[in-house]
Structures are given as C-alpha cells and as structure tokens.
Amino acid sequence: MTFTEEIKRRRTFAIIAHPDAGKTTLTEKLLLFGGAIQTAGAVKSNKIKKSTTSDFMEIEKQRGISVSTSVMAFDYKNYKVNILDTPGHEDFAEDTYRTLSAVDSVIMVIDCVKGVEPQTRKLLEVCRMRNTPVIVFINKLDREGQNAFDLLDEIEKELKIKVRPMTWPIGIGKSFKGVYNLTQSSLNLFEGDNKTTLGETITIKDINDPLIDKRVGSDFATQLREDVDLIDGVYDELNVQKYLDGQISPVFFGSAVNNFGIHELLDCFVEIAPFPKERDTDNGIIAPENPKFSGFIFKIHANLDPKHRDRIAFLRICSGKFERNKYYFNVREKKELRFSNPTAFMAQQKSVIDEAFPGDVIGLYDAGNFKIGDSLTEGASFQFKGIPSFSPELFRYVTNMDPMKTKQLQKGLEQLTDEGVAQLFTKKVDGRKVIGTVGALQFEVIQHRLKSEYNASASFDQINLYKALWISSTDKKKLDAFMQDRNAHIAFDKEERPVFLAESPWLLQMAQEKFPDIQFHLKSEF
Ligand code: G4P
C-alpha cells in the first residue's frame, strides 16, 4: 500500500455523548462489527459512578480503564478505524477538549427519550469551534422516546446544526420494528417480538413497494410513506462536502444495545468521514502527505504503578511516517528522543509497533519529557496549534502540609499539571501557588495522587477568584505598566506567560476599561 493510500484509509474519530446516552455501548458494538472484540461487555464504561466507594477510588479505577480504552483501533473493510475515548465525567471537560483536537470527526450519540442534554450541547460547541464533521446517532429507539421529527427539530434548534436523516425508524418503543434506509431503499427489521434478533436486510424497489406493507403492516407502511414524503420536502439531500465542512450532520436511528442501526452507521461513516487533513502550526500548514514525520501529544497518563514514575504520552501523528527507534525532536525542549517501545492499541490489545501513519494514535513511554501540547518532529521547529489551556472554573491556594517534603510536592504538582489534571499558576507578588481546575473532582484526584505517588501532602485553601486570563499587548511597556499596577493580581502559568487573576466580573471589566491596550484572553492560545 502506498503512503497516500495509508492516509486515505484512516478514520480517526471520537464518540461523544451526555453520560448514559450509550457511548460505551455503541463503541463496543462498533468494535464487535469490526471484528476487534468477540464478546459484548469487553469495553468498560469510563463513567464515574456514584457509589459507596469514594470518588477518587472510582477515579483511580477509571484511570486504569481509560489507559486501555484511550484508543481503540480496528480494520473494517479496507479502512483503519481509530476510536479515541473521551472521559465520561463533565469535570474532565478539558481532557475531552484535548482529545477532540486529535480527531478528524465525531459521532454524537443522543438518547431518543432525553433528547439534547447539557453535555451534548457543550461538546457540540467544541466541534463547531473547529468545524469538526459530526454524524448523529439517535439511540434507544426500543424505548418510548420522542417523535423522530420532533427530535430532529430539537437537535437543529438546540445545537444550531442542520441535519439530514439517513435512516428512518418504523415505530418506536414497544412498536419499534426497524429502520428504513433512506438512501438505499432497504429495510432492516427485527425478527420476532423480543427486539433482540436482527433480520436480514430486505431490499425493496422503492417506498411504494407492497413488500413493506407485508413486512410491517399497512398502518406502519402508510406512516412510513408519509414520513418519507415529508423528509424529502423538508430536508436537503446530503451534501458530503457540507458535512465535511461541519455544516450539515447526517442522522441515523437505532438501538445500540440491540445492535440495531449500527451497520448502516458504520458503513456510511467509513465512506464519508474525513481522512486526516492538513493541520495548522505556528509556522504554517502541515499536510499529512508531507514525508517528514510530525505529531503532537494530547494526553498523558501516569503509570498506574506508583513505584514506576514512567508515563504514557499519547501522540497523534499528523504527517509523515513514525518509525520505531528513530530519533525525533521534542520542539519545546529542543531534545532528541528515541522510542524503542511505541505502542499501538488494537481494541484491548496493546502491541509494540514498527511504524504508524497520519491519523494514528500511539502511546510513547515517557520518563517526564513531555507536556500536553508538545510537538514532535523530524527536526523542524514548529508547534501544532489548537491545544490551548482554558481559564479554569475553580481555584485553590496550595499549602504545603509537610515542610520536609517540599521537593516532592513541587515535583508532584509539576508532573500532575504536565499531565493536564489541573493548571498551576504562581503569583508574582509572593510566589504562592494557585491550582485551577474545571471541576471539583480534580482537587480530590490531586490530593490523593500527591500522597500516594509523591508522598507529599498539601491542603487546598479557598481563594476568591472568578477567572484567570492570559494577557497580552502589542506595546510591551503598556503590558509592564499594567502588571505593575495590578501587581497583587498577576501570576504566571507554567510557561511563564502572564495571567491576570480577576476576582469578579466587575473587577475584570474595570481593568479592561482602564487599560484598553491590554488584551484579556480566556485561553492560552490567541
Ligand atoms: P454512556 O457510555 O454514554 O454513559 O452509556 P452506556 O453505553 O454505558 O449506556 C448507558 C445505559 O443505557 C446502559 O444501561 C446501557 O445498557 C443502556 N443502553 C445503551 N443502548 C441502549 C439501547 O439502545 N436501548 C436501551 N433500552 N438501553 C440502552 P445500564 O443499565 O446503565 O447499564 P447495563 O447494566 O445495561 O450495562
């Protein structure tokens, strides 16, 4: 196979959903259809369940699961499918954001009973920011859900995207019979009453074929014909280019737990979903066909064994071919690195690989050389864009509780924040450390991991903060003057970039009004 063919057969994507909509189930079914796993139940949910165990124990368990489910790759037809897992808890929204920087498209799962939910909304906003192509899978059609047209309306209105149904449900809940394939004139029906046995695909001449009446009864056949008439009148044909530009989303209906509608989804997905495309760097665009290797780190996992400090850094390959044992260049550290055990993930199986192509995600064993967002190249000095830090939502002062373990605490905080668990700011005026997170759970995680992995103990004390905003100005003198004026409210992030710590929206507004030449940014990339 040529290099270009290798690129074109790759489909790297994530499944996103509000918790409980069926992301894990759908992932598992795709792996089953792709032949990557043999039995259901093999993929563990990465949801953090509220149970009798405390949250951080649950998180530790999830960390174990999420290493194995970080990437699930399989071959289907002639395609290489890479599914990247996203965390199941909203406190880890930033992890999800970073993972979405490493995919080329997404499949969004919506529960037909619940419709659009808060996490669905947030995740789709992220996709829209990047114009990521989205395919929608409406799940749980075996339940008494909302009317299909109402659901589509809700999706269009709430998520502000245009949709185009590709399949259409016949009945819903108890009366759910199966789906009609709108593009291929075929029916997929359940056999028997138990909604678990798939029938074979029935090819029909067109929507008026009396075979439909025979198989689903004339009431359902009439309803289907009316629905299809309406669909053709209301929704435009699928324009694949518009889908690739993130302007229209094809929609499939089904029931993941019952294997229903998955084949249609997967077949259409591999056909229309994008292969790896060019990416933006601080030194121009890099095309995947560029023969020189490049990629970036979007996720770092500490090893679960506390005796070993090594970690796995997940690298998304953007151009060229990655080869084992070759020297590559960590642009930030200006350091040559060689990897003797790069790991690929074929579903549950980890294996050492000799080469990997654009679109692939591989795990690199790392003794602390990487930070999230790092670029790795064949020698060129550029950084991939699109993996910024966001202003955290919650802030705490870190106080060292054991003066004998200052170094350990320092190291622990450095490494945990390198992994992207939280952000670390150092106040200009007194050097105090401030930790910022998206959710409250992270403080528990940090405290627990500092103790168990670094033998350090810290307390997190209240600090009254609304936002941490990166500041810039075209006039360096003005920036210095601002930093002098607001001395007590200035901190530096880990990259030594200056940040304004705003205690309230009002104080931020005051600063903006008084210093019009200063730009305040909610993310570190601007
Ligand atoms: P998530 O990863 O998006 O959080 O969802 P997950 O797949 O774990 O599914 C959440 C629940 O919804 C699971 O039930 C799962 O079995 C169920 N489910 C998934 N697809 C369908 C479907 O098509 N129809 C119906 N009726 N249910 C579906 P659970 O009771 O939480 O877990 P389990 O004990 O069944 O595993």
Residue 342, domain CATH: 3.40.50.300
357 in a structural domain? yes
331 and 447 within one domain: no
Q: Report the alpha-carbon distance of residue 401 to residue 403 in Å, rounded.
A: 6
Determine if residue 122 is left, alpha or beta; phi over 0 gives left, psi from -120 to 50 gives alpha, anything else beta: alpha
The CB of 47 under 6 Å from ligand 1? The reply is yes
Question: Sheet holding 498-502: strands in order across?
Answer: 458-462, 394-400, 433-437, 423-427, 490-492, 498-502, 467-472, 519-521
One-letter amino acid of 134:
V
pLDDT at 491 over 60: yes
Could you tell me the two tokens for 264?
A: 């249609």
Q: For residue 252, how far is its CA from the centre of ligand 1 (angstroms)?
A: 18
Comparing 15-24, 295-304, 358-367, the range with the smallest average pLDDT is 295-304
Comparing 227-231, 366-370, 490-494, the range with the smallest average pLDDT is 366-370
140 and 233 within one domain: yes
46 and 15 within one domain: yes
What local confidence, expressed as pLDDT, does residue 52 receive? Answer: 46
Ligand 1 atom 9: the closest Cα is on which residue? 22
Ligand 1 atom 27: the closest Cα is on which residue? 140
220 and 283 within one domain: no
293 and 248 within one domain: no
pLDDT at 328 over 60: yes
292 and 240 within one domain: no
Could you tell me the two tokens for 210?
A: 């009396």
191 and 159 within one domain: yes
191 and 55 within one domain: yes
- Bridge partners of 301, per DSSP, are 312
Q: Of 272, 292, 313, which residue is a domain's last? A: 272
As a whole number, the mean pLDDT across the chain is 89
387 in a structural domain? no
Q: Report the alpha-carbon distance of residue 28 to residue 103 in Å, rounded.
A: 19
The CB of 111 under 6 Å from ligand 1? The reply is no
Number of independent structural domains in the chain: 3
Contact indicator for 141, 260 with CB cutoff of 8 Å: yes
Atom in ligand 1 nearest the alpha carbon of residue 18: 3
122 and 18 within one domain: yes
Could you tell me the two tokens for 304?
A: 């679960």
The string of pLDDT tens digits covering residues 213-264 is: 998 999 999 999 999 999 999 998 899 999 999 999 999 999 999 888 998 8
The string of pLDDT tens digits covering residues 44-85 is: 665 555 444 455 566 666 665 555 667 888 999 999 999 998
The range of the structural domain enclosing residue 443 comes to 394-521
Judged by DSSP in three states, 468 sits in strand
Q: Report the alpha-carbon distance of residue 103 to residue 105 in Å, rounded.
A: 6
Contact indicator for 90, 126 with CB cutoff of 8 Å: no
What local confidence, expressed as pLDDT, does residue 89 receive? Answer: 67
Place of tokens 């200006």: 334
17 in a structural domain? yes
CB neighbours of 112 closer than 8 A, spacing ≥ 6? Answer: 138, 139, 140, 141, 143, 145, 146, 148, 151, 172, 253
Q: How many CA atoms lie within 13 A of 436 on its CB side?
A: 24
Q: Of 377, 412, 444, which residue is a domain's last? A: 377
146 and 63 within one domain: yes
Q: Of 221, 245, 272, which residue is a domain's last? A: 272
106 in a structural domain? yes
Q: For residue 500, how far is its CA from the centre of ligand 1 (angstroms)?
A: 44
121 and 160 within one domain: yes
